[in-house]
Structure 1
Amino acid sequence: MQTNIALLAKRAIGEALKGNWDSAIQLNTQILEKNPDNLDAKLRLGRAYMQTKQFVKAKKMFKEALHLDPINQVAHKNIDLINSNKLDLNSSIINPGILIKEPGTTSEIAMQLTGRGMTGDKFTSGEILSLKIKKKSVDVFKVKGTNEILIGTITNAEIVSKLNKASDLKASIIASVIKCMDKSVDILLKSSLPVFRSEKQDIRPYIKKGSLDEPEIESEELELGV
């Protein structure tokens, strides 16, 4: 059963990375049918519910996660986020910049818009960008129909190194717009494998006595869930 759960988790992560939230909900639900105490699946399912604006279900799932791990910061922060006024209920996309991000699998970078005629008002939050990863830099493109328009280049040595590592490991990488200024854009980089620098938790995670440990794919990629 553990193998089946690991495969379902891998598929669920992949669907979330591609923004296929309905599929992610189905896959994580299948995991919980097999193992109702799967903490990572509950966190992923809660986030998928948030992305599809099913906030009541999301809150319920995060509360169930807290029943398993009472000090889980992801569940606490997402419940606080749902209770706050930071979610735009009229938007078709939940701004990825305000969601709790996963240590090791996500990173943010501010990039200057150097492409001809490119200004911040040409982008929307959540818009997917295309990357061309090179050895010492990463070109970033705006996707317009079947065309890709160069908008700028990431030259931060650490980020470039991590993206090259992700590429070498055949990880899925998604870049999306968080917010824009006149001549710059904040970009969220999301990898299916933990290649970025992680922030350590101040408190050692609580593990409920008798809970089942999950395969390494769960704990390694989903310290905070996808």
Structure 2
Amino acid sequence: MADEKTKLKKYWAEQAVSLALQGRWAEAVTANQNILALFPSDAEAYNRLGKAYTELGKYTEAKECYAHALQIDPGNSIAEKNLQRLTSLVAAGHVEVSPPLVEGRLEPRLFIDEMGKTGITTLINTADQPVLAKLSAGDPVQLRIENKTLVVESIRGERIGEVEPKLGHRLIKFMQAGNRYTAAISSLENSVRIIIHETYQDPSQVGRVSFPGKVGDMSFRSYIKDSVLKYDLDEDEEEVLDEEVAGLDTEAAGDEVVEEAEGFEDELSNGVPDDK
């Protein structure tokens, strides 16, 4: 009987990870609840359930889950951190919100392409904590041109911050020339970082690189893991996630993203239209 329960736990844990990767948070709730029905003292399952509820905007339920996790495991740093974040949200009046306007996460595969089409940058002039507290790694964001500034907004239209001037100016010119980009939160630790991917290149810009430099395999794997991933995976679940990530077709090379477009001023002035 014990072995059967353990097998069921592993099965539902695998389902929970897979559903989280797909942004299917309502189903992830059920998967984690199934684990708790068998193992009511599983702190990790409570953490994952809290994460799923947070993604659905059910902050009250999420707080209860993280509180349960802390009761079971008082040293659980993930539960403690998330409980503090949710407490600040509730204190600011964000008790419940409607589900995301765009369901789920951005598919990680969307960000994997040939060298020069993906970049990661740290935002400047970021929003206050009440706005940032509602965000998670992997959340899709919008890029909006505001004069000569590239503004980053949540899908609800809340201003998150701005792309640093050099890269922002570069991308604005490409956008005005017809290129299109998709972006998502990469990290919220100490600063707000976003990952930006070129989804369409205008014929007039063929041969021109949006992001000088390279996105490394390890760098990108780190992004994918961070985006589900404040999901508190145990050892078995980490293996499941690693298999998911390892299956992605990554051909980019290098270890870091070159975040500033140095050395490309001639290209900007000669090949991309100037601001009107």
Question: How far has the Cα of 1:153 moved from its partner?
Answer: 3.8
Alignment of 1:65-84 (within 5 A): 65-84=69-88
Conserved 8 A contact 1:139-1:154: no
Q: What do residues 12-48 of structure 1 show as CA deviations (whole Å, max 9, x unaligned)?
A: 0111121111010010011111111111111000011
Q: Quick check: which one's helix share is greater?
A: 2
1:216 aligns with 2:235: yes
> Unmatched 5+ residue regions in structure 2?
106-131, 138-162, 187-194, 201-207, 242-276
1:141 aligns with 2:230: no
| Identical-pair percentage | 23
Match of 1:45 in 2: 49
TM normalised by structure 1 equals: 0.51
State the alpha-carbon separation in 2 of the partners of residues 127 and 60 from structure 1: 26
Q: Quick check: which one's strand share is greater?
A: 1
> Unmatched 5+ residue regions in structure 1?
102-109, 129-137, 144-149, 167-172, 174-188, 197-213
Q: Which has more radius of gyration? A: 2
State the alpha-carbon separation in 2 of the partners of residues 192 and 66 from structure 1: 22
Match of 1:107 in 2: none
Q: Which amino acid aligns with 1:191?
A: K
Alignment of 1:57-206 (within 5 A): 57-85=61-89, 92-93=99-100, 98=133, 112=167, 116-117=174-175, 140-142=197-199, 152-153=210-211, 155=213, 160-162=216-218, 166=221, 189-191=223-225
Q: Which of 21, 26, 37 is the matching residue for 1:33? A: 37
Higher relative contact order (CA 8 A, sep 6+): 1
Question: How far has the Cα of 1:162 moved from its partner?
Answer: 0.7
1:18 aligns with 2:75: no
Q: Which 10-residue stretch deviates more, 47-56 or 20-29? A: 47-56
Q: Which amino acid aligns with 2:41?
A: D
State the alpha-carbon separation in 2 of the partners of residues 151 and 53 from structure 1: 38
Q: What do residues 108-127 of structure 1 show as CA deviations (whole Å, max 9, x unaligned)?
A: xx8946552169xx889858
Q: CA RMSD in A?
A: 4.6
Q: Which amino acid aligns with 2:62?
A: A
SS at match of 2:41: coil
Conserved 8 A contact 1:192-1:221: no
State the alpha-carbon separation in 1 of the partners of residues 30 and 42 from structure 2: 15
Q: What do residues 93-148 of structure 1 show as CA deviations (whole Å, max 9, x unaligned)?
A: 49x974576xxxxxxxx8946552169xx8898589xxxxxxxxx992348xxxxx
Question: How far has the Cα of 1:90 moved from its partner?
Answer: 5.3
Q: Which amino acid aligns with 1:160?
A: G
Q: Which runs of 4+ in 1 moved over 6 A?
A: 122-125, 219-222
* CA distance 1:192–1:17, change in 2 (3 Å): farther
* CA distance 1:218–1:161, change in 2 (3 Å): closer
